[in-house]
Structure 1
Amino acid sequence: MSRDREPLVVGRVIGDVLDPFTRSISLRIGYSSREVTNGCELKPSQVVNQPRVDIGGEDLRTFYTLASSHTL
């Protein structure tokens, strides 16, 4: 996907909140049977349970910070 069409760029997360970066691992997040993608909106009833988070990569010494936001 073109960098200028990435949801995080269009939503101004990259640029306003984060500096531009190059992806280095895969990341998948889901609630029940629904996978979360950049820019998708979920209802409170859809996120009652803890999400499943799958982070790619094979180096178990590497740690990541996961942040979530919501709009009012």
Structure 2
Amino acid sequence: MDASFGNEIVYYEGPRPQAGIHRNAFVLFRQEIQQTVYAPGWRQNFNTRDFAAVYNLGLPAAAVYFNCQREHGCGGRRFLGAN
């Protein structure tokens, strides 16, 4: 597959886990015909099977899965010292 062309439907939004380990997957479908695909209104608990069924996409052509978690000491309150 040549991923150097095509139309971006939803821009990349990197993982932002608040706590614990989060599972992420990128799933690539090959469209047999040109059709309008609408971005989901909400990404949380997105159902890939339902999305593929709505647009008649069939089985995925490729997929990548990874885990991520927030680094320790990232965000939260910071001690700025005495003034």
Mark yes or no: TM-score above 0.5: no
Give 1 or 2: higher helix fraction: 1
Larger Rg: 2
TM-score by length of 1: 0.27
Q: Structure with the greater relative contact order (CA < 8 A, sep ≥ 6): 1 or 2? A: 2
